[in-house]
Structure 1
Amino acid sequence: MGFTLTGQGVAATAAEQPAVDLFRALFENLRTLAQTASPSVVLPSLVTQTDALRNLAGSAPERTRVELLALCARYAELTGWMAQESGNDQSALWWTRLAVDLATEGHDPHLVTYSLVQRALVTLYREDAAQTIDLSRRAQRDGHAPGRVLALAASREAQGHALAGDHTGCHRALDRSRELFARQEDNEGPVLGTTTVADVAEMTAGWCLFELGRPAQAVEVLEKQVEALPATALRSRARWGLRLALAHAAAGEVDQACALAERLLPAVTVVSSATVAVDLRRLTRTLARWHTHRAVHDLYPRLTAALRSEAV
């Protein structure tokens, strides 16, 4: 069954503030869904709603048009993240560029700056430390960006330094991130970046400690932060939980690593994340060193099956 909306109907809808409010509420619902479902479930709705908002904006009066375009940019940015989670980096970058164009039209320079942080996430998972650091630093050079965006950029820079094995650069960026998060201000519109991690700087510190070869310290930091994640935030729990399992394994705590990984596998399968799969592969390779260990022997077939599954 199909139907069309007349040009007059589109214009009338676009002129109504309740339409903007409802699309904003829908955005928050879709972002919540993105934490609990596969990208293949979320992406069709995101693409459809982004297209609908662009059509509405084209028929809206100036004040509402700018508001619709700014919101549409947030939809496009979330779509880009879900595209990356599906394993399609090129699509992710395309959607991020679209988000920048829409944000520019919608007078939202903060999202334009934040897009650099998102691009740095793509390069981070490509293990390109230099690009990750460069993009993150470019974002921090925006003197008008809100504290939260600058803090997220500093956290991403720290991850880039950790990937490069630069202890000093990493800790300096983490200190800057903590300071910026401590004095961030409230902003109108949907929150940029994660909404499920309570202390981004400390969670990032745990990630970095693992990359810098300090797994025992990483465990101390990550355990507290992972425990604080909402039970419904399956994507975050899978991502950070696997990083914690990796730290346990690297610290020689094989039983703890296996027990945690076993609890996480259902969430890993549900969220079907290409980026989470990166750490799942690393964990599988790490645990292979203890292939005769009973816990590893029992868990290993499930790990390899998860890696073969289309879900990851």
Structure 2
Amino acid sequence: MVDIDVPIWAARLGVLRRGRLWSQRELAERLSAAADESTRDRLPALETLTSMIRLWEAGERRPDEWYAELLCRAFGVDETELFVGDAAGTTLWHYLTGIPLVPGMFTAEEEESTGRAIEAPQRADDRTVGYFRAILDAYTRTDLRPADAISVLRPVFVGIEEFRHDASSPVRRAFLLLATENAELISRLHHEAGNPGRALAWSDEAVRDAREAADALLEAYTLAQRGGLSDTAGDPGGLVALAVAARERAHLPARVDALSRHHEAQGHALAGNLDMCRRRLEESAQSLAEPGDDTPYRFDCSTQAHDTLCAGCLVDLGHARDAIEILEQQPPKAPPTYATAYALARMAHAYADVHECERSVETARQALALARQTGALRALRELAKVHIPPQEARHTRIRP
């Protein structure tokens, strides 16, 4: 077994924390919440507790009995599983690779089998492919902060890349397809996290992998998604070209066809072409209404996502009142995600454009709070476009 520079129990602490996407400070907060009211005042300040967790994970200090109990409560495991356990190999390979350990998702046998394949990629089989696909599914959620999801998906991509290069031929192509989907997902997350350069770089990787796999549908999907990465009016023709190119690659299933027409509509809106924009939005809605589409790719084609895009196009075209009418029909208690933050930012923009300052300010405040909560930097960039009269701006703090 490969030696590591920390005790196995310390490695397990870090692996369990990262798999849950908790920072060390967030774990400190959870320890405080796990303490009884009668003992909570024994805990040090949050900063001190965070420093203690850092020392525990480095193996420089071991938690005493009371802190061990709090850790078990926070993680939902027993002390044997946390500090002793019989899965040192599983802890080790997750610790060394950074691939997240998802609690309760896999059996001990599946974890051990994947660990053996990590050591010798020629051992990889369909079960290994299924393991990594399940990991991607577990972290493809809009309620996660984009930066947090990226932090766990990057090592997953590295692991998949090892298999696509070194695994035996029966499963190598499956890993190549999985690498394409992973790269495309990371690209969109970078877009939401406010890093367009990294988003385009990962999109390039996804397109290259799809072409290497000679999968026309997957290539069309990556091109359609790439068309939605830019919110700039600098190259609307480029957005249109990417969307059209996606439909030229293959006969698209309904959801991917709708995605392509969505992004073509964005390009037409940025170019000021109202008729073509409306035509493509109508076509995308018709595609979404078609039954029986079992497209396996991960993207949001919900009614809310479609309406937000339609409203955004109308804002770009200068039809803010029509955009408001669409956005106000959405559920008042939408889930707290980065997509909801962006929809609120778009609504604030629309209210500002029709000079409804009070409603714009209030909506912008909501969008700002949610954007900070969810890490939605794209929503923050949209808020930066909201023009509020100076006399109103002096009494608000809606800037990122």
Question: Could you report, residue by residue, the CA deviation over 1:256-296 in whole angstroms, capped at 9, with x for unpaired residues?
Answer: 2222222222221133344323211111xx11x2x324xx4
> Are the equivalent residues in 1 in contact too, given 2:258–2:284 (CA < 8 A)?
yes
User: What is residue 298 of structure 1 aligned with on the other side?
Assistant: 395
Shift of 1:74: 0.8
User: Is there any run of 5+ residues in structure 2 with no aligned partner, and where?
Assistant: 6-91, 97-114
Percent identical pairs in the alignment equals 25
Tell me the CA shift for residue 13 of structure 1. 5.0
Higher-RCO chain (CA-CA 8 Å, sequence separation at least 6)? 1
**Residues 146 and 185 in structure 1, CA contact (< 8 A), matched pair in contact too:** no
Matched AA of 2:180 = A
Match of 2:338 among 227, 235, 239: 235
Q: Which amino acid aligns with 1:265?
A: L
Using the TM superposition, name which of 252-261 and 43-52 deviates more.
252-261
Measured on the aligned residues, the alpha-carbon RMSD in Å equals: 2.6
- Match 1:36 to one of 144, 148, 159: 144
| CA deviation vs aligned residue, 1:6-58 (integer Å, no higher than 9, x gap) | 7784336512x3322222221122221x543142x232322110010111233
When residues 244 and 6 of structure 1 are mapped into structure 2, their CA distance, relative to the original with a 3 A threshold, is same
CA contact (8 A) 2:348 2:359 kept: yes
1:132-147 equivalences in 2 (<5 Å): 132-147=239-254
What is the CA-CA distance between 1:106 and the residue it aligns to? 4.0
**Aligned counterpart, 2:124:** 14
Of structures 1 and 2, the larger Rg is shown by 2
Equivalence for 1:244: 347
Query: In structure 1, what is the Cα distance between the partners aligned to 2:363 and 2:377?
Result: 20
What one-letter code is carried by the residue in structure 2 that aligns with 1:212?
Answer: L
Q: What's the CA shift for 1:186? A: 2.5
Cα separation, partners in 2 of 1:8 and 1:76, compared to 1, 3 Å: closer
Q: Is the helix fraction higher in 1 or 2?
A: 1
Aligned equivalent of 1:26:
135
Query: In the aligned structure 1, how far is the partner of 2:320 from the partner of 2:266?
Result: 15
Aligned letter for 1:245?
A
Retained in 1: the 8 A contact 2:320–2:353?
Answer: yes
Tell me whether 1:112 sits opposite 2:219 in the alignment: yes
2:370 matches 1:267: yes
Contact 1:86 1:274 in 2 (8 A): yes
The residue that corresponds to 2:154 in the other structure is: 47
State the alpha-carbon separation in 2 of the partners of residues 8 and 253 from structure 1.
Answer: 58
Distance 1:8 1:205, change over 3 A: closer
Judging changes above 3 Å, is the alpha-carbon distance between structure 1 residues 257 and 107 closer, same or farther for their aligned structure 2 residues?
A: same
CA distance 1:190–1:116, change in 2 (3 Å): closer
Superposition pairs of residues 1-312 of structure 1, within 5 angstroms: 1=4, 9-11=119-121, 14-15=124-125, 17-32=126-141, 35-39=143-147, 41-125=148-232, 127-183=234-290, 185-187=292-294, 189-191=296-298, 193-194=299-300, 197-225=302-330, 227=332, 229=334, 231-232=335-336, 234-283=337-386, 286-287=387-388, 289=389, 291-293=390-392, 296-299=393-396, 302-304=397-399, 306=400
Distance 1:8 1:29 in 2: 20
CA displacement at 1:179 relative to structure 2: 1.6
Q: 2:234 & 2:327 partners in 1: Cα distance?
A: 21
Deviations 1:102-159 (A, max 9, x none): 2234454322112222332234435321111121122222342222111111111111
Q: Which is worse superposed, 138-147 or 66-75?
A: 138-147
Contact 2:220 2:250 (8 Å CA) reproduced: no
Provide, for residues 207-262 of structure 1, a one-character-per-residue CA deviation record: whole Å limited to 9, x for no partner: 11212212111111012236474x14x21011111101111222222222222222
SS at match of 1:176: helix
Distance in 2 (alpha carbons) for counterparts of 1:198 and 1:13:
43
Deviation at 1:189, TM superposition (A): 3.0
Aligned CA distance change for structure 1 residues 24 and 90 (closer, same or farther; 3 Å)? same
In structure 2, what is the equivalent of residue 310 of structure 1? none
Report the AA paired with residue 182 of structure 1. A
List alignment gaps of at least 5 residues for structure 1.
307-312
In 1: Cα distance, 2:379 partner to 2:120 partner: 40
Distance (Å, rounded) in 1 between the aligned partners of 2:130 and 2:116: 22
The number of equivalent residue pairs is 290
| 1:20 to 1:69, Cα distance in 2 relative to 1, 3 A | same
CA shift in 2, pair 1:119/1:157, >3 Å: same
Q: TM-score scaled by structure 2?
A: 0.65
Q: 1:208 to 1:235 in 2, by over 3 A?
A: same
- CA distance in structure 2 between the aligned counterparts of 1:142 and 1:199, rounded to whole angstroms: 28
1:52–1:8 Cα change, 3 Å? closer
Q: Given the superposition, is the C-alpha separation of residues 81 and 109 from structure 1 closer, same or farther in structure 2, using an over 3 Å criterion? A: same
